[in-house]
Amino acid sequence: MNTTKTIPTAQIIAGRPLADRVAVVTGASSGIGAATAERFAELGAKVALVARRGARLDALEDRLRASGGVALALPTDITDREATLATAARIADELGTVDLLFANAGVQLISGISDLAVADWDAQIDLNIKGTMNTIQAFIYSLEAAAAAGGPSDLIITSSTAAVRYLEGFQVYSATKAYLTQLARLLRMELGRKKVRVSAIEPGMVNTELPDHVTDETASKLMADLIAEIHVLRSEDIAEAVAFVAAVPRHVNLTEIHILPTEQTI
């Protein structure tokens, strides 16, 4: 069983290796997105915070600015293509050329296929796949321009261990994440020639609010048991891995990182 004890800090990167970089984080209102935005700012990047929940973004913006960081909160529904393009234009005007995109926004809604939870299917496809594609559309030229100018340029996509594992009830969610992992692999073939690095981050069980969206009782119990029985990942653990991907020298591309809690076996 999981016992209460002090867990060491996730931070291993020092200094300001992201200084002068302009980063965009989607899904920045909570969890991995918020933790990564905070870490990017600590490491020197100017950070655009993108998510639907404006109040949470404003609070994060205030925290980052109070700590000396540069942050811009931009409430946006990335399933809306035109809204996403408008947000990208504002970021370009206020922060400059984006050279670090963390396409992180996503939702997990688990159910048996016979439940015909078609609204949940659509929500996952719309956000996890279409939202990511809208985000890429909005920033791809900026990433290419940054690389052409001689600096580092990163497209980092949050996938999941579910992309490569078989978990009952996860069929639609897993399929959306498999799409993202394969997308990252194929984008790297095209963008690597342009010196844009492409990476997929595939976390296992992370103690975020994502499992709270799960209504299927079996899946909810599975996740609750994992959290109770093992030391699951924290958002800060993933944030440090993402920051490391962006901080390595320009000629180094960490293409696919699968991160599991040490004790997670499923």
Segment (H or E) for 118: helix 118-124
Q: Dig out the tokens for 53 from the structure.
A: 């929940």
Which long-range contacts does 222-229 make (Cβ < 8 Å, 24+ apart)? 222/266, 226/261, 226/264, 226/266, 227/2, 228/1, 228/2, 229/1, 229/2, 229/263
> Which positions ≥6 away from 110 have C-beta within 8 Å?
169, 170, 173, 214, 215, 216, 219, 220
Residue 186: how many other CB atoms lie within 10 Å: 11
Strand residues in 135-235 grouped as ranges (E):
154-158, 197-203
Q: Dig out the tokens for 185 from the structure.
A: 């692999």
> Which positions ≥6 away from 82 have C-beta within 8 Å?
none
**Annotated catalytic residue 173:** yes
Question: Which amino acid belongs to residue 88?
Answer: A
Catalytically annotated residues: 173
